[in-house]
Amino acid sequence: MKKSILITGANGQLGSYLAKAYHEEGHRLILLYHIRNERIKVFCGSAEGSYASIDLTSYSELDKRCRSNLWQPDVIVHCAAMRSSDAQPLATTNPQFFQQVFNTNFYGCYNLLRVFLPIMQEKGQGRVIIMGSNVSRSGLKNGCAYSAAKAACVNLVKSAAQEMAKHNVLINTISPAPLDTKLEEEYSGDYLNFRMSYFAEYLKKVPSGKLVGKEEIKRVIDLLSDENLHNLTGQEIFLEGGLL
């Protein structure tokens, strides 16, 4: 069954992978990105889908664009995120940057749910998958704003899921360990070194000896977006390769 699938952070490595895969499967795509779109414009913008640059932290902008384009997705996959790229311990963080990172992650998630849950409720059907992170339960040294926001999003999902289940709208979080991505395409300088070190430390500890693959993420998303599910909601699903 073909679906209308909305993906945020669609130009990111995970978002663009999902967009390409679902495009090839013939689904109608609604792709939201912040500024850059070079990974997605090659196969989108056709009559079978749309893409738009949107600041998810602006409820009014997202609501206006949704209404003007009559977006009614069957499935939402929220990949957009902003990381604590200053890589500072809490005691030396810049308060303004901490607030920006937290607000971008948390309110981006809130605004997305606030705009689209009423639409899904009216339709009597919907599936929402929020991409979290395993730092929601482990914390992240030198990444307090990001880990705090991800934990807040998880509890937002758990609460909203209880409210929406009777409307056949299921909301879940996937919280993976580090994803198998090309770090050099996203980061540079000290923060690239921080991310590479973090990934290396993870690989020393994880029983599977592997990073989380984008293909594996898609398989879990496919399960969570199945219209035949009724009770799998409000969950945080961890993909950590056996890490305890």
Amino acid at 210: K
**What are the sequence ranges of the domains in the chain?**
4-239
Helix, strand, coil abundance in the chain, percent, nearest 5: 45, 15, 35
> What is the model's pLDDT at position 227?
95
pLDDT at 243: 85
Distance between CA atoms of 217 and 134, rounded to whole angstroms? Answer: 13
User: CA nearest 6: which of 42, 40, 57?
Assistant: 40
4-239 folds as Rossmann fold (3.40.50)
User: What whole-number distance in Å separates Cα of residue 43 and Cα of residue 45?
Assistant: 7
b/e map 4-40, b = 16+ CB within 10 Å:
bbbbbbbbbbbbbbbbbebbeeebbbbbbbbeebebb
Those residues of the chain that have pLDDT short of 50 are 47
Task: Calculate ∠ Cα 58-122-163, nearest 5°.
Answer: 75
Q: What is the pLDDT of residue 48?
A: 59
In angstroms, rounded to a whole number, what is the distance separating the alpha carbons of residues 77 and 117?
13
Residue 29 and residue 124: Cα distance in Å, rounded? 20
Q: What pLDDT score was predicted for residue 43?
A: 66
Residue 76 CB contacts under 8 Å (≥ 6 apart), including other chains: 5, 6, 7, 8, 112, 116, 126, 127, 128, 129
